[in-house]
Structure 1
Amino acid sequence: MTNEPLAAAESRSRMAKLSSVARQSPATLVLLLLVMVATAVTGGLSGGPSEDVLTAVGLDLDDVWVAWWTLLTSAFFAASWQGMIISLLAIGIGVGIAERIVGSWRAASMFVLGSVVSSAVLAVIVALGTANNDAWLAFLGGNYVVGAFGGGVAALGAATASLNNLWRHRIRTWLLALSVMFALYLGNAESLQLLAGAVFGILAGRLLGTGQRVHTGRLFTRPSLRETRFLLATIVGVFAIGPFLSQITAGFAVGPLSTVGLLTLQARPDTGELSQLCDFDDACMKLQSLLGVSSVGATVLSFIPLLLLVMCSEGLRRGRRLALWTALVINALVALVALFAFVEFLLAPDLEFADLDKRFVVIYILPAVAVPAAIAVLLFVHRRRFPVSSGILAAKNLLRVTVGVAVLVALLYVIMWFSEGNLGRLNVTDLLAQLTHILIPFPLPFVVQLPQGLVSVLIYGFGGALIWLVFGLIAFQNLRLYSADTQKTAAGDAKVRTLLQEGGGSLSWMALWANNAYWYSADGRNAVAYQVHNGVALSVAGPFGVQEGQSGAAGEFVAHCIEQGLIPCFYSATGQLGEALDSLNFDRLEVAEETLLNIEAMTFKGKEWQNVRTALNRADKLGIKDRWYAYSAMPPGIRAQLAEISEEWVSDKSLPEMGFTLGGLDELKDDQVLCCVAVDDDGLVHGVTSWLPVFTKGEISGWTLDFMRRRTDGFKGVMEFLIASAITHFKAQVPMISLSGSPLANADSLGTDGEPSAIEKVLVILGNALEPMYGFKSLAAFKSRFQPMHQTLYMYYQDPLALPAIGLAITAAYLPGLSARQSAGFLRQMTNKEPARD
């Protein structure tokens, strides 16, 4: 009984979501239903449609113009359940996304138009290839083509015209790169139709218009540095996956690059080949299958180039020099291996040049050399766009460890090769060939004899995989490193202080704290303090310095981050910064509410001030006074008590003191930071607050509350007393003070207008996990007793795909140096299903 209401509520929730999807994407839903019904009715889900059905609705590549209506009808049918699933994916992704961007009618119209045009282009291409007896395209004739491939990608390609620069470049790059990869590696009719649809959709969206245009008048705008890196990373990644795709589709792949996998992936010999290599010795065959050339190690070695290039693709996106040179060398080696295989083919004694099909050479052999060579050249030409390195020490460590492992493996193999009696049956030339097999993860253009002996076979099968996995792991770690200079020097500190006194926000003084690095504008009049975590440059508030240059400095800092392969993110910045970032397509998310007090008008009169008056009266009765010091001017006894109170507070928590925008005892030691200490007549410290200065053009214009600690057995209301004392103390100096923001205190309210985003979920989890230990929500409630004004603080981010990385960076910034035990406890708290209570 108790489960029935819950089950009913879940059912209603699912129905509501389905209804919402149907309302938002009616065209997509109709097209999906049409394809499923049409495929089922024509037998596509059983044995496949009959010849008569295919003649009536399928695209006949031999003579499409006889049944011209099939240019469109072919898009709504599938010849098998696998083909139907692919068609549904093309519609669901292509038309579904397009419908959200440009509306139902435009998305559906572009699907229909894209289906017709891509089918016509396919028919024309195949007809031209057949007329010229093309070795590739003529093979495609005589087939019926059905599927929604061209229409789906055409709708998505057209919709990109209505996106901003970032997403327009990215989606077009993905569409074209994947379409070209399928066309070159698979080469079947559907892949060519996919490419035709993608090109047509992009052109049509720009020329015909598919909604609001947000771009310049040029057909293709010049990509930024970040998008150039993204484009090159996509090219490397796509052409790394291509050989693997051609291998798993070898039964029907006919594209120009369908043979590249044979040249770039180590192929495991079949039973017949292994028998010949082992001279039909059963013991040799069994040993090679378990540990040698047909073992798991050989399989891993065959995928090493793919894994390294995929890793390099991510490194290229980050602007990494190591990724550039690794990808360049691998592609150059692939080109050389393909060239050697081509030369060996041409030099074969039984080859008659008169019988050599020139078209076959041009279509299937030359591209295998030209494509990886072109990628290597392209990377070399753009090498200056990848200046980011992990440091000379990291590079030396990578080289030292990899070479050391390679030398050790090779030396051990040579020793065991001789010890296990391979000399005599084989010669030294065979040994060198086997070492080449171990050290180079590509198929060799010459026959390699197999070793004998347990250890020799083991090293032969697993040694190469070990070497390259070690290289890959260390390289992957290096690609994630970023050496931001956080060393504090007297000159650097003085420069930052000078800029802070020119102007900044209420949190800008936190720029002086530990773990921060500094970026300076070109004119040296502004700066940004930031931390690097997980590839994210997380700023401490906004730029500071000369006020007139802060907006420009924000844009310069973004450009600097992109150049360094970092993700720019401004954290706890005011709404004014958003105006400077609008042209850079930044989005924002509320992360805190800053509490501001207009102290000139405060008199502590009225019912709403009852708690504050009670605290002041009680402090007077107990003889507690407020004492104002710089930390260095404090009496030693008070400093000792502050350390005692702080240590007591920290020891009571399961996590260490937080950082980033929350100061600790070390941050009090700045001579320009004021401390207000509540001390009784016996010299006992009951509590302390610290106040950070806020400057405008060299003059203090405000103060910001930071450090707050109270003695566990101190008098109740000590914090109200300290803040009320600060209001009285600062009233004659400045018009306004800030009680700072309460980080993550409003996490539960994020995304209340709809489904929370990824970063909102991270902030909610982080806020709820830390609440029992740090009491952010109760702190926010406490500050509200002073009748403050509120100013929203935002997180500004440019790339929505980077939100998970930003969430991890925020966690690392607030909780630096977690121990393994503390991390485990924090993860348990984050995954606790019970919500945190105030």
Structure 2
Amino acid sequence: MTSPAEPVIAEPDRRRRAWRSPAVWSMPAAVTLLFLLTGLLTGALVSGPSSELLEVVGLDFSTPYSRPWALLTSGFFAGNLVEYLVAAVLLFLGLCLATRFAGIWRTVLAFVVSAVLSAFLLSLLLEWGLNNDIGWFGYLAGDLQIGSFGGLCGALGMSTAAMDSLWRRRVRSWLLAVTIMFALYLGTGQTIIALVGTIVGIGLGALLLRRSTDHHLRHSSLRETRVLVSTGVAVFAVGPLLSQLSAGFAIGPLSLANQLMLQSIPDKQTLSDICGSDPACITLQDTVGISSPGAVLLTLIPVLLLLVCADGLRRGRRLSWWITLGVQSYVLAFTVFMLLIFYGSSLTDFSSENLGVLFAYIVPTLLAPALILAVLWSTKAAFGVRSSAAGRRALARTAFGLAASLLVVYALAWFAEDNLANSSIEDLLTQLPHLLIPFPLPFDIFLPQGLVSTLLYNFGAAAIWAVILYLLVRDYRRFGGLSKDQAADARQAGLLIRRGGGSLSHMALWEGNHFWFTPDGQAGVAYQVHHGVALTVAEPFGDPRWIGDAARGFVSHCIELGLVPCFYSAPAELGTALAELGFHPLEVAEETRLDVTAQTFKGKEWQNVRTALNKARKLEITDHWGSFSSFSPALRAQIAQLSEEWVAEKALPQLGFTLGGLDELKDESVVCCLAVDETGAVLAVTSWLPVYAKGEIVSWTLDFMRRHPDSFNGVMEFMIACAVKRFQNSVDSISLSGSPLAGTANPEAGEEPQDGMERLLSSLAAALEPFYGFRSLAAFKSRFQPSYRTLYMYYQDSLALPSIALAVSEAYLPGLSGRQRTQMLRQLISR
């Protein structure tokens, strides 16, 4: 019978086959080649089209109706060789993506229509702007425009209609964010054409690729709100830097924002005026002061701060919300102050020219931070993930301590270098805020003259904020929303596991796991948090009727905490409930299950097991069963010694997560089996975890396995055979568990990983194989003629796969030292 998860599991294969189709590459390659050949044959490839050629093929916004063919031909030229190469790469990749989702003819149609329509609509917009004396449009009129970005963005925008809802919203958000940023901060003709082309393309997608309904809920509105707000903050963070780097030709409405957000580096004349033409001052400031290359660090701090806050907003962090609110409030207040000072006189002149400048540049500069503030206030409820108490204390102590230390050290250096002889105490007081605020200040500052005070003045704030940014990023890994009473949660989880669970559910009760329960308490999920990923310990447990609801509720819980949900070592049955949330499966292990009813170990395939049983009988080795606490102190000491010797033989520490150790062996509900010889020596030990359904034990799962190095060959076969005999009168089947990572592709066996995540896990499995032998363990279990059940990892967002890979590695290898990480990395590289 086909399992419900199989159609979902086959979906990645279908996507990979689609990418490999020649049709995806042929048309984009042809268009890109035509673009380059046109430049080569017309002599425009190196230095752009000549003035005569530009007059024919270039788009003239002032007379768009006189040469209508230019609406299309302008898209097949660029300004120089670098622009040709960049445009060719973007054309090929963008058209491949569009063709992959929308097909060839739709992509070509969208490319042509978007290129023509975006240029035409911009011409109409410019005509309106010129008639109404809008200053920005006056700079654009008269320039001959060339470039292919209108058609490219249109094709991409159109193809988003064929993507699933997660990627449709994501690609549209990114595409709109990038084109809006370039249009607002650069404001050149091609940037506006790209923005208009994006909008036209999205509209074409609605016509060409209509879908009746969106069948799958991919993300909650909470996550979408966070993503949209963080995207907006990131755009307005990078935009000022973009306009500063392109100050020579940036004419967008927000092209002045860099002067209001970023520290400016003065030119030689300005530096000479600041220093009063003093050669010593000029040399000092040019070497280590405000005109030195190192001053770029201070310019980047506001951008980095807002980008870190944008990442925090994406995670739902309340601290990032407060910092962004404070920054934007400061920027708005500073903007108002500077505009009143520098533009106060012109604002009283209501001539058409000044009004055009007012509406084109001043009003947008004011509206940008005001708009962000309004959005932040209206979406405050979406950012409720608070830092842990330890994280808040560490951040506050470090920030306050560094700030106070810098102020004190700077003041001492300022006096020691006799700055008071050239300035006053008032100058010192105006310099102190500059040490702590990386944004421009609305008043003139007298620069220090000594070497030490100059270094502190220019690099002190950058150093402090670099440390604060590091603490903010580290704080994202700490959460204050987890349960404060882990013991009570563990007791509740234990009761639910007895009502129902899978073969690995008992592992949920191990130390280090957190728990989430459905509101009615009918089911729960155990999970660990690593690198912002909530990694579950197998499937949900509890009342089987509520398992699907528990999975969906846990996803919502993770989104509220800003975590990435990932179900690890879960069965295929869970795929049905998760498929409607957009989760994708990836095989991570093969669970081996033994039918123990009436098992007699007869037949040729059981020869190894019969040999092991006979050898144990001759050596007078017997199996002893019981809980760890029921054994004598001497036996418990031997078990501990076996475990320590086994761990000591490994180059890496004992694994965790779904692999138990000596501590997990001491659980009273866990049954242990010892192989003891006639002298009382323990030769091997195994542990078995109970599996419940409706309060009754319905199966057992193998966990702990250790053998003495001097024990006879086949001792572990003897242990499994003893377990089969013991359990066959009480349960129908037992599980030998799943070998971690053994279900991934094995390159040595000629198996090729199918996608990026499987490659990562296969590499991890290959690196750990010499140390732990996962695949050797899987081969050993296959001797018992088991049936197999595939265990999957279910993930929702493919962009989170690197974080998930790190989370899986850290879950299995907690507390890995630097030396051990280096050793594992060497092994990984050698393979």
What TM-score results when the alignment is normalised by the length of structure 2? 0.94
Matched residue, 2:408:
411
**CA offset at residue 491 of structure 1?**
3.2
CA contact (8 A) 1:743 1:776 kept: yes
Partner of 1:775: 773
Q: May I ask how many residue pairs the two structures share in their alignment?
A: 812
Matches within 5 A, 1:490-529: 490-529=487-526
- Whether contact under 8 Å (1:22, 1:29) holds in the other structure is no
Gaps of 5+ in 1: 1-16, 834-838
Q: What secondary structure is seen at the aligned counterpart in 2 of 1:531?
A: strand
Deviation at 1:66, TM superposition (A): 1.9
Q: Would the alpha carbon gap of residues 284 and 651 (structure 1) be closer, same or farther in structure 2, given more than 3 Å must change?
A: same
Residue pair 2:316, 2:384 contacting (<8 A) in 1 also? yes
Which amino acid is the alignment partner of residue 499 of structure 2? E
Q: Is 1:365 the equivalent of 2:362?
A: yes
Alpha-carbon contact 1:90-1:148 (below 8 Å) kept: no
- The Cα shift of 1:488 comes to 7.3
**Any gaps of 5 or more consecutive residues in structure 2?**
1-16
- Structure 2 letter corresponding to 1:54: L
| Residues 665-713 of structure 1: per-residue CA shift (max 9 Å, x gap) | 1111111110111112221111111110000011111110111111110
Alpha-carbon offset, residue 46 of structure 1: 3.1
For the pair 1:344 / 2:348, whether they are aligned, the reply is no
Residues 766-809 of structure 1 show CA distances to partners (whole Å, capped at 9, x for unaligned) of: 11111112111111111111111000000000000000110010
Map of 2:542 onto structure 1:
545
Alpha-carbon separation, structure 1, partners of 2:811 and 2:348: 69
The match for 1:650 among 641, 647, 650 is 647
**Relative to structure 1, is the Cα distance of residues 296 and 79 closer, same or farther in structure 2, using a 3 angstrom cutoff?**
closer
Match of 1:11 in 2: none
Q: Deviations over 1:696-754 (max 9, x none)?
A: 01111111011111111012111111111111111110101111111112333489897
Distance in structure 1 (CA, Å) of the matches to 2:422 and 2:685: 84
Partner of 2:40: 40
Question: What is the CA RMSD across the aligned residues, in angstroms?
Answer: 2.2
Q: Which residue number corresponds to residue 820 of structure 1?
A: 818
Higher relative contact order (CA 8 A, sep 6+): 2
Alpha-carbon spacing, 1:164–1:412, altered in 2? closer, same or farther (3 Å): same
* Counterpart Cα distance in 1 of 2:57 and 2:413: 66
Residue 188 of structure 1 aligns with an amino acid whose one-letter code is: T
| Residue 789 of structure 1 pairs with residue 787 of structure 2 | yes
The one-letter amino acid of 2:571's match is T
Q: Deviations over 1:143-182 (max 9, x none)?
A: 2222211111111111111111211111110011111111
Matched, 1:164 2:160: no
Q: How far apart are the structure 2 equivalents of 1:483 and 1:392? A: 7
Change (3 A) 1:381 1:717: same
Tell me the SS of whatever aligns to 1:609.
Answer: helix
In structure 1, distance between residues paired with 2:688 and 2:184: 65
Amino acid in structure 2 at the alignment position of 1:203: G
1:434 corresponds to 2:431: yes
Which range moved further: 76-85 or 19-28?
Answer: 19-28
Match of 2:757 in 1: 759
| Secondary structure of 1:707 counterpart | strand
Of the candidates 589, 592, 600, which is equivalent to residue 592 of structure 1?
Answer: 589
Matched AA of 2:349: F
8 Å Cα contact 2:318/2:384 also seen in 1: yes
Aligned to 1:14: none
For the structure 1 residues 346 and 109, does the alpha-carbon distance in structure 2 shift closer, same or farther, using more than 3 Å as the test?
A: closer
Given that 1:164 and 1:214 are in contact with CA atoms closer than 8 Å, whether structure 2 keeps it comes out as: no
Contact 2:427 2:445 in 1 (8 A): yes
Once the two structures are superposed, residues 171-219 of structure 1 have per-residue CA deviations (whole angstroms, 9 ceiling, x without a partner) of: 110011111111100101101100001111112212x1337666279xx
Partner of 2:745: helix, strand, or coil? helix
Deviation at 1:458, TM superposition (A): 2.2
Q: CA deviation at 1:351?
A: 8.4
For 1:783, the aligned partner's letter is: K
**8 Å CA contact retained: 1:499, 1:527:** yes
Q: Distance in 2 between matches of 1:151 and 1:755?
A: 36
Q: How has the CA–CA distance of structure 1 residues 170 and 754 changed in structure 2, closer, same or farther, with 3 Å as cutoff?
A: farther
Q: Does 1:481 align with 2:460?
A: no
Any idea what SS the aligned residue of 1:65 has? coil
Separation of aligned partners in 2, 1:625 and 1:20: 59
Q: 1:624 to 1:484 in 2, by over 3 A?
A: farther
Contact 1:162 1:214 in 2 (8 A): no
C-alpha deviation, 1:56, in angstroms: 2.9
In the alignment, is residue 305 of structure 1 matched against residue 302 of structure 2?
yes
Equivalent residue in structure 1 for 2:681, among 677, 684, 693: 684
User: 2:188 touches 2:251 (CA, 8 Å); kept in 1?
Assistant: yes
Contact 2:744 2:753 in 1 (8 A): no
Contact 2:229 2:313 in 1 (8 A): yes
Q: Which amino acid aligns with 2:557?
A: H
Structure 1 partner of 2:380: 383
2:349 to 345, 350, 353: 353
Over 3 Å counting, the alpha-carbon distance change for 1:775 and 1:484 in structure 2 is farther
1:12 aligned partner: none
Task: Give yes or no for contact 1:337–1:442 (8 Å, CA) kept in 2.
Answer: no
1:241 offset after TM fit, Å? Answer: 0.4
- 1:489 is displaced (CA, Å) by 5.2
Provide the rounded CA distance (Å) in 2 between the counterparts of 1:146 and 1:479: 44
Which of 394, 398, 402 matches 2:395?
Answer: 398
Q: Which moved more, 1:537-546 or 1:93-102?
A: 93-102
3-state secondary structure, aligned to 2:580: helix
**Structure 2 counterpart of 1:702:** 699
Tell me if 1:567 matches 2:564.
yes
Question: Which residue matches 2:443?
Answer: 446
Measured against aligned partners, the alpha-carbon deviations of 1:380-413 in whole angstroms (never above 9, x if no partner) come to 2212111112223322321222122112211222
- Once the 2 structures are TM-superposed, how far is the Cα of residue 21 of structure 1 from its aligned partner? 7.2
CA distance in 2, matches of 1:703, 1:484: 34
Hey, what does 1:215 align to over in structure 2? 214
Select which of 743, 748, 756 maps to 1:746.
743
Deviation at 1:467, TM superposition (A): 2.3
How big is the shift at 1:755? 6.2
State TM-score, norm by structure 1.
0.93
Q: Which residues of 2 match residues 612-627 of structure 1 at below 5 A?
A: 612-627=609-624
> Could you say if the C-alpha distance between residues 396 and 762 of structure 1 is closer, same or farther in structure 2, counting changes exceeding 3 Å?
same
**By how many angstroms is 1:85 displaced?**
2.7
The alpha-carbon deviation at position 633 of structure 1 amounts to 0.6
Task: Give the counterpart letter for 2:827 in structure 1.
Answer: Q
| Corresponding letter in the other structure for 2:454 | V
1:608 shift after superposition: 0.3
SS of corresponding position for 1:136: helix
* 8 A Cα contact 1:185 1:255, kept in partner: yes
Aligned residue type for 1:587: H
Residue 550 of structure 1 and its aligned partner are, at CA, apart by 0.4
Residues 754 and 707 from structure 1, CA distance in 2 versus in 1: closer, same or farther, beyond 3 angstroms?
A: closer
Q: Please state whether the residue corresponding to 1:831 is helix, strand or coil.
A: helix
CA distance in structure 2 between the partners assigned to 1:736 and 1:272 by the alignment: 86
Percent identity reads: 48
Q: Give the aligned residue type for 2:606.
A: W
CA distance 1:752–1:359, change in 2 (3 Å): farther
1:454 to partner: Cα distance: 2.5
Counterpart secondary structure, 1:280 = coil
The SS at the match of 2:565 is strand
d(CA) in 2 for partners of 1:255, 1:118: 18
For the 8 Å contact 1:39–1:79, the answer to whether it is kept is no
Distance 2:108 2:593 in 1: 52
